[in-house]
Amino acid sequence: MKGNLKRSEALKLIRPGEIRVRIAPSPTGPLHIGTARTTLFNYLFAKKYKGSFILRIEDTDIGRSTKEFEEDIKQNLKWLGLEWDEGPYRQSERKEIYRKYIEKLLKEKSAYCCFCSKEELEEQRQYKMSIGEPPLYSGKCRNLTPAQIKKNLGQGKPFIIRFNNSQKTDGEKIIFNDLIRGKIEFNKTLLGDFAIAKSLDAPLYNLVVVIDDFKMKITHIIRGEDHISNTPKQILLQKVLKLPQPKYAHLPLILGPDKSKLSKRHNTVAVSKYRKDGYLPEALINFMVLLGWNPKDNREIFSLPSLIKEFTFEGIQKAGAIFNISKLDWINGFYIRQKSIKKLTELCLPYLIEKGLVEPIFKTEQYPPAYGGKIITPSYQISETRENINFENLEKIINLYQERLKKLSEIVELTDFFFRLKLNYPKELLRWKDMTDKEIKESLDKLTKVLGKIKEKNWTALNLEEILLKEVKAGRASKDRGYLLWPLRVALTGKKTSAGPFEIAEILGKEKTLKRIKEAINIII
């Protein structure tokens, strides 16, 4: 709790409309779940104080940055509902700006060219560590004469540009007040002469960030805890360049199950993967915000708008949080149950189509020009049987499985039997408890007889239930409906778990229901 006072003081300085925050992802991979959460916190803070949220693409690493990844990042941010107000700015398009600053630093002797070789540096490092000193750069090239520099350059010696940390800045300590952690102190001399550019055209991370944040008038930098150690370097650069210092807030990290920073090693870090698996954006948002933030009471379900209202830095946790997928599943299931059937059906359809269970048929209908000329109304057919299936019937199917879904993608596995011509299941599946084959057959025969008598127009789940339950009263099933209903359910679905048999029979229709029962009889004998 130390530094708490300072923190609230800092927060008082926040004035609506002046806030400018940013995220600066590198397009060297798809949108990372950690980046998404950082974005969320930036977004919430910006929206809460009516500020601006800026997207900046850090694509200085030309080798690993791609347009595709940038696209993935933008697409998935939009999908999550985290739209930026400004940008995207690209660092690759701003080289001129950085160059000017590097030249300025060089000219003012706040930076210098270092010609030491990698081997030399490593040797030095090892030596310093062996005698128990911090492994900092010696500063050997700090005071090279112009003539020496010229000579080295003339020989084409490779070099990097280092920050000259020997000069006087106020005090030996770099101190800043983190909005989440309070006061954080660093010893300036322990920072050494860190590298700021590989060449005039290749500035390094710490420099670029400082320049960009200044140019973009960023007021608050909200980023991951992994950047804490970069902060004093950036502050040093701000001081030397006489730039205003933004406020900092370092978020706790999202951890993998092994408690290390969530990374590609932990296989599922791409937001697109969750999207494909059938997680809803609102669920992901809700889950991510709970990883490191809470409203100080027991509420757990939050929409984006409500989060904007509720968000505070006080609610942010300091310790890292392990990414716990079972809670995500639970939240996702919750949001799925909140969906209207129409909406949920629209969300599930792509999965059924992708797996080839259902195909869309596009019919173009003519309308008078006043109504737009023509519209395309998709209808659907079952791939295996070429039967038409309208949206309402699809809705009925989805409706049965709404409360069973944790992820949209599961709809395929759950409902495929509706779309199959033939079911494949072992005979044993038809057996309820200790039933003999003969008894199973009797139950199925009885079903055939009773159901066969029901007229098409009375073929509704409600009717079927009433009639079948009346039937149950007689015979062995009177004590345990399973003797009649289990074989029925298996005959219709081929699965050991499913929705209720009456509802399924209704959707299947009389003909298919009787056909499947007949097939079950064939299996049993």
Active-site annotation, residues: 264
Interaction between residue 21 and RNA (CB under 7 A)? no
Which residues lie across from 183 on neighbouring strands? Answer: 177
Binding RNA (rule: CB under 7 A), the pick from 117, 167, 189, 229 is 229
At which residue do the structure tokens 């959460």 appear? 37
Name which of 195 and 240 has its Cβ closer to RNA: 195
Binding RNA (rule: CB under 7 A), the pick from 195, 429, 447, 524 is 195
Say which DSSP state 521 is in: H
Strand residues in 179-281 grouped as ranges (E): 182-187, 195-199, 202-203, 220-224, 247-251, 254-255
Q: Measured between alpha carbons, how far is 20 from 216 in angstroms, rounded to an integer?
A: 8
Q: Output the smallest distance, CB 489 to RNA, in A.
A: 4
List the interface residues with RNA, window 88-127 (CB under 7 A): 121-122, 125
Q: Measured between alpha carbons, how far is 207 from 243 in angstroms, rounded to an integer?
A: 12
Q: Output the smallest distance, CB 329 to RNA, in A.
A: 7
Q: Output the smallest distance, CB 133 to RNA, in A.
A: 8
Binding RNA (rule: CB under 7 A), the pick from 294, 383, 399, 463 is 294
Interaction between residue 340 and RNA (CB under 7 A)? no
What is the rounded (10 degree) CA torsion for 47, 75, 207, 107?
-110
Interaction between residue 426 and RNA (CB under 7 A)? no
Q: Chain centroid to CA 299: how far?
A: 22
**Count of residues of this chain found to bind RNA when the rule CB under 7 A is applied:** 70
Interaction between residue 249 and RNA (CB under 7 A)? no
Residue 264 among known ligand-binding residues:
yes
Interaction between residue 190 and RNA (CB under 7 A)? yes
List the interface residues with RNA, window 469-488 (CB under 7 A): 480-482, 485-486
Q: Are strands 111-114 and 86-90 parallel, antiparallel or unpaired?
A: unpaired
Q: Which of 2, 304, 13, 326 is nearest to 180 (CA)?
A: 2
Interaction between residue 185 and RNA (CB under 7 A)? yes
Contact 184, 178 (CB under 8 A): yes
Size of the chain in residues: 525
The piece of 48-56, 221-229, 240-248, 375-383 that touches RNA (CB under 7 A) is: 221-229
**What is the rounded end-to-end Cα distance, in angstroms, of the chain?**
74
Contact 74, 59 (CB under 8 A): no
At which residue do the structure tokens 């397009």 appear? 27
Q: Which residues are annotated as a binding site for ATP?
A: 264
- Give me the residues that bind RNA (CB under 7 A), please: 1-2, 4, 121-122, 125, 129, 132, 134-135, 181-182, 184-187, 190, 194-195, 225-226, 228-230, 252-253, 255, 258-261, 290-292, 294, 296-298, 300, 315, 317-322, 324, 326-327, 329-330, 333-334, 337, 403-404, 432, 480-482, 485-486, 489, 496-502
* Annotated binding-site residue numbers: 264
